[in-house]
Amino acid sequence: MLPINDLARHNGPLDGEIRVAIDRVLQRGYYILGPENQAFEAEFAAYLGVAGCVAVGNGTDALELALRALHIGPGDEVVTVANAGMYAGTAIHAVGATPRYVDIDPASMLLDVSLLPAATNDKTRAIVVTHLYGRMADVEAVVAFARPRGIAVIEDCAQAHGARRNGKLAGSVGDLAAFSFYPTKNLGALGDGGAVVSSDAGLLARLRGLRQYGWTSKYHVGMAGGRNSRLDEIQAAILRCKLPHLDGWNARRRAIIARYNAGLSGLGWQLPPAPGEGDVGHLYVVRAPQRDAVRAALTAAGIASDVHYPVPDHQQAALPMQASLPVTEVAAAELLTLPCFPELTDAELDQVIAACRQTVQGGQP
Ligand SMILES: *Cc1c(COP(=O)(O)O)cnc(C)c1O
């Protein structure tokens, strides 16, 4: 089966370097929030062009801690999209605030900025902007809307490590940004990991306390709402091996998307926009009518596929919410994710393209 992601192929070439890094941590005997964390935080902040990075346990914790750093809680509303896997929704619920969902632009699948005036009110404390599938949302427009109203902007960069728009990196535009280093992300650990970045010294200081019980100094809980959410030294050391390769991997992802778009034209599918210089091709997602039949045919041809994401946040069984999101709802039934990872060869890509064309056109040329 040709997989959606092949992590052994992805990490294999770094095998030797990763073993050296793990050995270094093993022999140092310092396993939580030590020198590897400090070095990774400094290197990742420098890469993004932000003042600071606070490494945490995973991307959902990063979103939650970003909200806690802003003192967001019960009675507050946080605006976000409903088509991005419910991670932001989970974090918003975790702090006791209420998500307020906005619909998306049908071409980009990203937050529709024109809908923000209707979605915000005097309870709105933050907007979580998700850079979905490796494409940056117009976060500058969101900031221009939010700042005069005293609303904070949190970028969800879990699918956008290294993405750029107007010369700025994803994570450097909003007040805070959350990253995940889940293994399949563009920059992935060999386990869970995450980070919050910011250029606000006060927010960074709060994050450093909140990720570790609310400590302002060891055993002194100076902040309410603290958690235990830290990045292991081994994962930080592995991420340091991988960060220098991120831009090269992202360039290959862009090339994969361009080849898919050329090969899949004329099938009546809605293809993603041509990858701009700043896109990082986290996922290749099309909209295909008869999506489920296409998936079945791909499976029969030995090609894995997936759906990102099948259930909009406001329709999740555990936490259903009233919302009218027609673009999000129609899209959910048509979304189809095809294999996309930097090591995918052109021959494999062409095999996926041929299988898709065969599925839709039968024997027709
Ligand atoms: C993966 C992901 C997250 C959550 O990251 P975890 O590390 O799995 O908690 C958040 N937001 C988006 C958009 C993601 O894709």
Residues 150, 134: contact at Cβ < 8 Å?
Answer: no
Question: Distances in Å between the alpha carbon of 96 and those of 62, 79, 89, 129, 230?
Answer: 16, 14, 11, 19, 22
Atom of ligand 1 at shortest distance to CA of 182? Answer: 7
Give CA–CA dist 172/139, Å, rounded: 10
Q: Which fold is adopted by the domain 246-361?
A: Aspartate Aminotransferase, domain 1 (3.90.1150)
Active site residue 218: no
Options 3.40.640.10, 1.20.970.10, 3.40.50.300, 1.10.490.10; which CATH number does 7-244 get? 3.40.640.10
| Domain ranges (residues) in the chain | 7-244, 246-361
Distance of CA 353 to the CA centre of its chain: 26
Kindly report the protein residue whose alpha carbon is nearest to atom 1 of ligand 1. 158
Distance 263 CA to ligand 1 centre (A): 30
| Tens of pLDDT, residue by residue, the chain (365 residues) | 999 999 999 999 999 999 999 999 999 999 999 999 999 999 999 999 999 999 999 999 999 999 999 999 999 999 999 999 999 999 999 999 999 999 999 999 999 999 999 999 999 999 999 999 999 999 999 999 999 999 999 999 999 999 999 999 999 999 999 999 999 999 999 999 999 999 999 999 999 999 999 999 999 999 999 999 999 999 999 999 999 999 999 999 999 999 999 999 999 999 999 999 999 999 999 999 989 999 999 999 999 999 999 999 999 999 999 999 999 999 999 999 999 999 999 999 999 999 999 998 885 65
Hey, whose CA ends up nearest to atom 6 of ligand 1?
59
pLDDT value of position 209: 98
Task: Name the percent of the chain in helix, strand, coil, to the closest 5.
Answer: 40, 20, 40
Vertex 111: Cα angle to 110 and 115 (nearest 5): 145
Helices (H), 243-361: 246-263, 291-300, 326-332, 346-361
Residue 23 CA: distances (Å) to CA of 9, 242, 261: 22, 16, 43
Residue whose CA is at the smallest distance from ligand 1 atom 14: 158
> Closest ligand 1 atom to the C-alpha of 130?
13
Identify the three-state secondary structure at position 255: helix
From the list 123, 185, 218, 242, the catalytic residue is 185
pLDDT for res 361 = 86
